[in-house]
Amino acid sequence: MKKIILISGLALILSSCVVSTAGKVVKTAVRTTTKVVKGTVKGVSWAVKKAEGKINENRLDGDWKVVGVYNGTYEEFAKDKDPDNNYESKCSDSFEQITINTKKEKFRPFHCSGEKEDWVKYKFKFGKNPQNKEKENYLKYNRDKTISIVDVTSKTMVIESELLLGNNFPKRRLYLLEKI
């Protein structure tokens, strides 16, 4: 009789531990998915999540090809149920790109891959961005202009900035870039 009570008690304890652990897994999964903003924009898949903490600046180094543009900020993109890709390349027989040299703290703004643009000096910062008052990774250039680094991986980078493509009017946009 004691063995039956002991086994029943152990089974009850084990099942409550399993339920508790499963509950924590579900809670963590829900918390993670709410921070990622996803959308498919004319065949270009966006899975945008703001970086948590300081990004290693060396990840920005290199040539980045523009593959998508959202005509608005990250916050607008996050609220948009059907985001539209407003990117059309103005380059004939090439593509638009941005080049970042982290060792010299310089970048070349958007330019056609066959052309050379003048280098612009920047400072990489992590903290309160003066333009949108949010704590984030950003490049500060020309005294008061910034490029927000939303996220960067080994293959893609998402930035928010007023950098111009073609003859557009200056407005903060979200850019999806692919490493060349």
pLDDT score at 141:
94
Which CATH number belongs to the domain containing residue 138 in this structure?
Answer: 2.40.128
Is residue 101 located within the same domain as residue 17?
A: no
Is residue 26 located within the same domain as residue 98?
A: no
- pLDDT tens-digit readout, 136-179: 999 999 988 999 999 999 899 999 998 876 556 678 889 999 99
Is residue 111 located within the same domain as residue 155?
A: yes
Could you give the C-alpha distances from 54 to 36, 58, 128, in angstroms and in order? 18, 12, 12
Confidence band for 93, pLDDT divided at 50, 70 and 90? confident
> If we measure between CA atoms, which residue out of 145, 97, 96, 137 comes closest to residue 121?
145
Contacts of 7 (CB under 8 A, 6+ apart): none
Average pLDDT over residues 106-128: 91
- pLDDT tens-digit readout, 70-87: 888 888 888 887 777 777
More confident residue, 81 or 14: 81
More confident residue, 77 or 120: 120
Is residue 102 located within the same domain as residue 125?
A: yes
Structural domain count, the chain: 2
Structural domain harbouring 124:
40-179
**pTM (predicted TM-score):** 0.71
Report the C-alpha gap between 118 and 14 in whole angstroms: 66
Is residue 10 located within the same domain as residue 82?
A: no
